[in-house]
Amino acid sequence: MSYDLFPFTEYWWLYGAFTGFVLLLLALDLGVFHRKAHVVSFREAAIWSAVWVALSLLFNYGLYQYALWRFPRVERLMALPGFSPQAAAEQVGLEFLTGYIVEKSLSVDNIFVFVVVFSYFAVPAIYQHRVLFYGIIGALLFRAAFIALGSVLIQYKWVVIVFGLFLLFTGIKMIFAPERGVEPNKNPIIRLFRKFVPVTPDLQGEKFFARSNGILHATPLFITLLFVELTDVIFAVDSVPAIFALTREPLIVFTSNVFAILGLRAMYFMLAGAVDKFYLLRYGLAVVLVFVGLKMVWLNDLYAGKFPIELSLGIITGVIAISIVLSLLIRKRAVTRVNPIGLPDGGADKVEET
């Protein structure tokens, strides 16, 4: 499939319309549905998770139908030897779905970190949605920048190889390296921020900044938000190259990334209390990263430049499903649980499961 199915110069309006739609959803989210701070229940989170997944699948279907209608009318595409509008439209739909599943699965790693960070800073559940909301906005901006840069770099073969080797290294490291705890106060950016901006010792409600003795202070809630943003940048370094291994179309990369991120908050509130039950998922994600790394450095060339997306979708969903099922069937002997509510006593404690 040609790399320029959706060139930005022709489809800038589609990027703009999609961005406007996302901003409208975010405005409704904060301004209507979550205008007042409250504890998000499991039921509410499950409903919102279903809504975000449904919107993602609906968009995917709409993109497929648009491609099916549009491609036969594009002369440069129809002039390509052997080009099939039907096959190309199906490829678009499968690439979006595969990319969405990969990004959604990798987002689970974010949830593990969020649980620890909220506990570390003792952020009550009532304020966690506010932190995640603004964290999502920052994540969308960073992902857009990374994807724009990646869409330029990915045209060079050596960059593809570098991305693939990086994903291979990251996946292997996830398999064999022990998990390390999250220590925000040791983060150099946060330490630098504290040197220039005073921070209040306690939370000031839902405020990110507050005045004390006439001086503007950041609150621990803002430090939490800052660390959440830094964490997403780190995760984006893995996830953006991973989806470029599945498709070279920036529009598909951008839209699938955005939908995965939009559903992250709801997924957090739905799974925060049960993240320890999916302890084998990180190994499944590691295998996925190894697989997409192999696609970039070897498998694509083995299949004349494009590893079949149907096989990619089957392998990725199969590996993730197996890791989830095994996590539920094989109980972990000793797990570290972190208080997802973020109460002041929320340290980690060892519990035994039989």
pLDDT band at 105 (very low <50, low <70, confident <90, very high): confident
DSSP string spanning 42-95?
HHHHHHHHHHHHHHHHHHHHHHHHHHHHHGGG-HHHHTSTT--HHHHHHHHHHH
Q: Identify the three-state secondary structure at position 24.
A: helix
The pLDDT, as a whole number, for residue 3 is: 53
Cβ atoms of residues 293 and 161 within 8 Å = no
Segment among 64-78, 103-117, 189-203 with least mean pLDDT: 103-117
pLDDT at residue 347 greater than cutoff 80: no
**Side chain identity at 126, as an amino acid letter?**
I
Single pTM value for the model: 0.83
Q: What is the mean pLDDT of residues 71-96?
A: 93
Q: Does residue 17 or residue 234 have the better pLDDT?
A: 17
Query: What phi and psi values does residue 83 have, to the nearest 5 degrees?
Result: -70, 130
Angle between helices 250-262 and 8-28 (to 10 degrees): 10
**Side chain identity at 99, as an amino acid letter?**
G
pLDDT at residue 73 greater than cutoff 50: yes
Q: What is the mean pLDDT of residues 206-231?
A: 89
Q: Identify the three-state secondary structure at position 338.
A: strand
Which of 67-71, 177-181, 281-285, 294-298 is most confident? 67-71
pLDDT at residue 132 greater than cutoff 50: yes
Convert the pLDDT of each residue in 181-207 to its tens digit: 667 777 788 888 888 889 888 888 889
Q: Identify the three-state secondary structure at position 247.
A: coil
Rounded distance, CA 85 to CA 19, Å?
A: 26
Query: What phi and psi values does residue 39 have, to the nearest 5 degrees?
Result: -75, 125
Q: What is the mean pLDDT of residues 87-116?
A: 88
Q: What is the mean pLDDT of residues 334-348?
A: 43
Nearest by Cα to 270 from 121, 127, 118, 129: 129
Query: What phi and psi values does residue 263 have, to the nearest 5 degrees?
Result: -90, 5
**Side chain identity at 19, as an amino acid letter?**
T
Give me 92's structure tokens: 């678009």
Convert the pLDDT of each residue in 224-240 to its tens digit: 999 888 888 887 887 88
The pLDDT, as a whole number, for residue 335 is: 44
Cβ atoms of residues 292 and 245 within 8 Å = yes
pLDDT at residue 26 greater than cutoff 70: yes
What mean pLDDT value characterizes the chain? 84
Nearest by Cα to 270 from 42, 29, 40, 33: 42
pLDDT at residue 353 greater than cutoff 50: no
